[in-house]
Structure 1
């Protein structure tokens, strides 16, 4: 299996990240917000903006990507996502390589979310959140959700970590039994074994450039 088969997993996860449930706004890093409220706020703000703006509702991918960058990224920790997806290879990468990997992997994930949201911008998808029972002092939790689209229902899980400042950040997604980080870790390891860390940076950079030129 090559990484080319893997890349669509991110957009599939984004399909689940659409909600029309209305709730009070929760800002990134809100120390009072429960994990499920933070997940809800992260996805609700993005889809609400996309549906309200004529350009994004019409499918302008560049502007949809901008919405994801501005409104969704603050709720995430893709630096941690990148580090865990790299596994042991992260420790052998130079600070410059680590920065490049973070930037390129984040770009891949953001664009994947944007592509999926562009496809779903006019659909009536509902999102149900299961309250999380957070133990005292817990720093890592999973928010279980149900995505309902007409008669179809799908379970999506989100993993969050409590940041040093105290708020929760999304850093992994589980869809159809596969955690995003685990799947990418295997593919990244294969590329690093063949071409080194520079080879992975080159692959991600080339992939992102190709995707940008195709749209």
Structure 2
């Protein structure tokens, strides 16, 4: 499976969860933070006629503005890069984080545009929870097909933040660690930056 297929499946998983209806919130709970993200993004898209109609620029802007506050994608970047993150200069780290976050935002936005008119049913269940880490499980029914998607969150001073997704038995961080490791081994850190920039320049839609 290539980079785009992995990204598409990961984005699809996130987008499905984003389409959930509003539920009662408990800000202290990890699953409630996922639900809050869903309500915020879905409500913003429905309130914007262009986004509701499939305008990718608008949908991407909504994801960036409304969904990112519920995530810790700097942690995602750091864990996905591993030793590469430690070897990078402060400037390279900032660029890697910005480009990787942009890649994730674009993937989520594209998936949202594909699912906005589909009939999606789901259930959330709080799984393993430790002092600083939690997993939220979800069962999703899309057009008669069922799948299970897990979400890992970390507790921060600002509450629980989403930083990893498990779909079809593979965590997002593990997938990108392999992808990025191959690029770095071949082209170095600057080569990975060019790789991410190139993918982020491909028009959506």
Common fold by TM > 0.5 = yes
- Secondary structure of 1:6 counterpart: helix
RMSD, aligned CA: 1.9
Provide structure 1 residue ranges, at least 5 long, that are not aligned to the other structure: 27-31
Asked whether 1:117 is paired with 2:112, we answer yes
Higher alpha-carbon deviation: 184-193 or 140-149: 140-149
Q: What is the aligned partner in structure 2 of residue 169 from structure 1?
A: 161
Q: What is the aligned partner in structure 2 of residue 7 from structure 1?
A: 7
Q: Distance in 2 between matches of 1:146 and 1:189?
A: 31
Q: Distance in 1 between matches of 2:44 and 2:120?
A: 15
Contact 1:21 / 1:127 at 8 angstroms: preserved in 2?
no
Measured against aligned partners, the alpha-carbon deviations of 1:106-163 in whole angstroms (never above 9, x if no partner) come to 000001000010111112212211134645xx10111111112242221110000011
Asked whether 1:53 is paired with 2:48, we answer yes
Q: What is the aligned partner in structure 2 of residue 158 from structure 1?
A: 151
Q: What is the aligned partner in structure 2 of residue 182 from structure 1?
A: 174
TM-score (norm 1): 0.88
Q: Distance in 2 between matches of 1:180 and 1:47?
A: 23
Q: Distance in 1 between matches of 2:158 and 2:65?
A: 21
TM-score (norm 2): 0.92
Higher alpha-carbon deviation: 73-82 or 9-18: 9-18
Asked whether 1:193 is paired with 2:188, we answer no
Aligned pairs, how many?
205
Q: Distance in 1 between matches of 2:7 and 2:127?
A: 29
Contact 2:10 / 2:167 at 8 angstroms: preserved in 1?
no
Q: Distance in 1 between matches of 2:155 and 2:133?
A: 6
Contact 2:19 / 2:116 at 8 angstroms: preserved in 1?
no
Quote the offset at 1:44 in angstroms: 2.4
Q: Distance in 1 between matches of 2:172 and 2:195?
A: 18
Q: Which of 90, 93, 98 is residue 95 of structure 1 equivalent to?
A: 90
Q: Distance in 1 between matches of 2:100 and 2:59?
A: 18
Quote the offset at 1:12 in angstroms: 2.5
Measured against aligned partners, the alpha-carbon deviations of 1:155-176 in whole angstroms (never above 9, x if no partner) come to 110000011x151100000001
- Secondary structure of 1:17 counterpart: helix
Shift of the 57–5 alpha-carbon distance from structure 1 to 2, 3 Å rule, reads closer
Contact 1:19 / 1:127 at 8 angstroms: preserved in 2?
no
Q: What is the aligned partner in structure 1 of residue 195 from structure 2?
A: 203
